[in-house]
Amino acid sequence: MSLELRLLEHALAVGQHRNFARAADALGLTQPSLSRSVASLEKALGVTLFDRTPKGVVPTAFGRVLLERSASVMQREADLRQEIRALAGLEAGTLAVSAGPYPAETIVATAIGRLSSTYPGLQVRFLAADPTEIVRDVLAERIDIGVANAEGLEKNPRLSVEKLIPERFFLACRPGHPLTREASPSLRRILEYPLVTTVLRRRAAAVAASRGHVTAADASGAADFVPQILVNSVALGLGVVRNSDAIFPATIAHLADDLAARRLVTLDYDVATLAGPSAIFHLRDRTLSPAAHAFLAILKDVEREASGVETTATRVARGRPGKRPTARSQRV
């Protein structure tokens, strides 16, 4: 047996006013229409809900139960509507985002901050993690949106993938590092020093060689190189490099403060897109929440802004247009 909420609302009005005429007026109905609604409800339940007496309309025992239960049903329905309106208007709701260390500490952190400022009622869970873990969490529906290395993700039919603008990477080291005294050191020479990375095992030279950024001789000598220092955040990597002879690949966005303060310099070596392009991804067959849509819109705005800022910052770091930022040409 299915009961319409409209009929319950009409019965509640009759029970409140104890008069069909006044209840109909409060509902904006004609009295005959209200009488038909109550009759339909009584027919559906197979009982009499109201007795008409000289003193007014009185609920029967069945009517009292109906009115009591209907009040809670209507309140839950009102609460549900309010919750849906709040979610749609981003006054409430939740969002879970996970990002690889590089995007997490730049564009994603900025986007989360803007999202929270714009919609303070949202509950956001924002984590930095290894790309493999992020993919697992998105597929298991533990995370709504992932932002991480995009290699191979397009082949997964369950994921919707949108690549981000590729970022240019530079090799950073402390001022006075032995390599700063060498003009255009080779990758083989660079890898004589500890390499800090956010990935446990990465065939860095092979990746660079496959993109034409190093010579075959360099790649053959370093393709099986295992980085000595593993970190799970860019901030940790920068801390290690400031206090050692280690080398760390990072973007201008990550290096800007250290370059400006002369805590770090960059080597005259073009690693370009060594870390691979990042992408935004989520489950293809799931409808994104309003919070997720809002986050993605903000993230894309931040990405476009960062792309322009990075170009300007790179020129500043170079010291003059057309040159890579090097240990000898820093003019920040």
pLDDT tens-digit series, residues 36-68: 999 999 999 999 999 999 888 999 999 999 999
Radius of gyration of the chain (CA): 32
Q: In this structure, what token pair is assigned to residue 134?
A: 């992020």
Q: How many CA atoms lie within 13 A of 26 on its CB side?
A: 15
pTM higher than 0.75: no
Give the burial class of 120: count Cβ atoms within 10 A of its Cβ; 0-12 exposed, 13-18 middle, 19 or more buried: exposed
The average confidence (pLDDT) of the chain is: 82
CATH superfamily for 94-166+278-310 is Periplasmic binding protein-like II (3.40.190.10)
**Assigned CATH topology for domain 5-88:** Arc Repressor Mutant, subunit A (1.10.10)
What pLDDT is attached to residue 48?
Answer: 95
Q: What is the pLDDT of residue 275?
A: 53
Phi-psi region of 227 (alpha: psi -120 to 50; beta: other; left: phi over 0): beta
Residue intervals in the chain for CATH 3.40.190.10? 94-166+278-310, 169-274
Which one, of 280, 17, 251, 254, lies nearest residue 143 by Cα? 280
User: Cα–Cα distance between 41 and 16 in angstroms, integer?
Assistant: 17
pLDDT confidence of residue 319: 43
Distance CA 63, CA 70 (A): 10
Q: Are 67 and 11 in contact (CB under 8 A)?
A: yes
pLDDT reported for residue 42: 92
pLDDT tens for 127-175 read 999 888 999 999 999 999 999 987 788 889 999 999 998 888 899 999 9
Run means of pLDDT, 10 residues per run, the chain, 332 residues? 80 93 93 93 92 91 92 84 75 90 93 94 92 93 92 89 88 94 88 84 41 42 64 93 94 91 90 69 92 94 79 46 38 28
Residue-level pLDDT at 178? 95
What CATH fold (topology level) applies to the domain 169-274?
Answer: D-Maltodextrin-Binding Protein; domain 2 (3.40.190)
Query: Count of residues for the chain?
Result: 332
pLDDT the model gives residue 209: 39
Strand partners, 248: 172
Task: Give the span between the Cα atoms of 131 and 151, in whole angstroms.
Answer: 10
pLDDT confidence of residue 175: 95
